[in-house]
Amino acid sequence: MTIPFPAEFLWGAATAAYQIEGGAAEDGKGPSIWDVFSAQPGKTWQNQTGATAADHYHRWQEDIAIMQKIGLRGYRFSLSWPRILPQGTGAANPRGLDFYDRVIDALLTAGVEPYVTLYHWDLPHALHLQGGWLNAASPDWFGEYARIAAERFGDRVRNWMTFNEPQIFIQAGYVTGVHAPGLKLPMAEVLRAAHHVLLAHGTAVQSLRAHCRTMPRIGMASCGIPVSPASETAADIEAARQYMFANRAFTMESNSWWLDPIFKGAYPGDGLKLYEGHLPHFEAEDFKLISQTLDFFAINFYFGPSIRAGSGGIPERLDYPMGYPQTGFADWPITPEVLYWGTRFCYERYGLPIYITENGCSNPDRISMDGKVHDPQRIDFMRRYLAQLGRAVAEGVDVRGYFYWSLLDNIEWAEGVKARFGLTFVDFPTGQRLLKDSAHWYRHFIASGGDVDVEDEHTGV
């Protein structure tokens, strides 16, 4: 099945600093909340930390060579805030800045376009001790960090994202406490922290536009919480559309609570009603800052439920049946249709060009007796999801690029290395890299221009 992806479509892969870099205390880097959280016994699987991770800090040249071998045209990665500003504010760390200079220059030399995320969950611990995102000064802290990044890298980096998945780092870090910094706060405080993150986003956009020497293209990588209709009847499609942007429960895992302020300039009405009595103080001016004009809509899609129109047309979520296919991570179901419906619904609502900035499959991968890593489940996953993305493109949804998560096996936050998402196998004790069958398949897929049934000479699939 050949999908009509445009010739200029951007095929890439993604990573995050804490999850791959290691070098946690090297060359002047300060501790992040994840360095401190993961060092506490029982907080992560087998007490694993990102102290070494995939050792990208020392093996970045090898990793860029892997990108070239796969044929990637784009690479999404994050800067480590505490590597650049060990205390979160104040004097920048020249060795941290130099590291990212080398990476960016090498990417450009290799013909791989850098897509830089400012914040992928690793808040400097020094700022957490001052209240972190609960502190009303946090938008200014983040804006200053964005200024330093823009002034140093904005002559070469054209594509920026302010945050990765604020829904998740607020929900898991401040509501359930299963992620750093491990807090369980009242909803009023959670909503205050969330509002500060939105203000920080707007402040960072202003900093990037003011200080980048190359005209920046800016987005924010939201965690997409997608759904699909149970059938393609008008009633089920409308029910799914409503469900995807509704606010129904006391959780930060919402699409519209985070996206409407950015793209529509206001919190959604059903959310204001839901959180009544817990809302932070905000002014109309706040939303002028939050809703800075963006250039693209970045979103991470993995899975989502099926929705049908119930009694009176009220959206009804369907349970996954027994034996529904799952990936190896947290029992995530495999629902490729959400890559079509999720992008379609977001494009209808927000109207900007879309980049899928994360999508991927975890497996309990291992090196086989023939010395290779065979991961047919991941290839099947990619075929199914990319066919659905191709359907969206064919029907006029303006999707500009796709970043597979992840380039490398990494530290999957509190789950450690229990689950492997990478196209590249990492032997963590030695740091050795080995391309999986899926990496070879992806190379052939990219070269073919979007043939999801392309065969790979190395794997036979």
For the chain, the C-alpha Rg in angstroms (whole number) is 21
Residues 103, 149 contacting (CB under 8 angstroms) = no
Residues 74, 12 contacting (CB under 8 angstroms) = yes
Q: Looking at this protein, which amino acid is placed at residue 189?
A: E
* Angle at the Cα of 401 from the Cα atoms of 456 and 15, rounded to 5 degrees: 80
Identify the DSSP state of 415.
G
- Give catalytic status of residue 238 as yes or no: no
Measuring CA to CA, which residue among 28, 27, 122, 141 is closest to residue 79? 122
Q: For residues 145 and 86, what is the distance between their CA atoms, to the nearest angstrom? A: 11
β 297-300/217-223 pair status: parallel
Q: Looking at this protein, which amino acid is placed at residue 262?
A: I
> Residue 440's beta-bridge partner residues?
none
**How many C-beta atoms lie closer than 10 Å to residue 8's C-beta?**
8
Q: Is 412 exposed, middle or buried (0-12, 13-18, 19+ CB in 10 A)?
A: buried
Which of these is catalytic: 358, 395, 412, 415?
A: 358
- Give catalytic status of residue 165 as yes or no: yes
Q: For residues 383 and 386, what is the distance between their CA atoms, to the nearest angstrom? A: 5
Residue tagged 């291992």 (tokens): 366
Identify the DSSP state of 330.
T
Residue tagged 């993305």 (tokens): 389
* Angle at the Cα of 408 from the Cα atoms of 405 and 414, rounded to 5 degrees: 75
Q: For residues 114 and 121, what is the distance between their CA atoms, to the nearest angstrom? A: 19
Residues 313, 224 contacting (CB under 8 angstroms) = no
Q: For residues 302 and 332, what is the distance between their CA atoms, to the nearest angstrom? A: 8
Which of these is catalytic: 21, 113, 144, 165?
A: 165
Q: What element of type H or E holds 166? A: helix 166-170
> How far is residue 70 from each of residues 4, 99, 154, 372, 393, measured CA to CA in Å?
21, 23, 27, 16, 23
> Residue 433's beta-bridge partner residues?
426
User: Which positions are catalytic?
Assistant: 165, 358
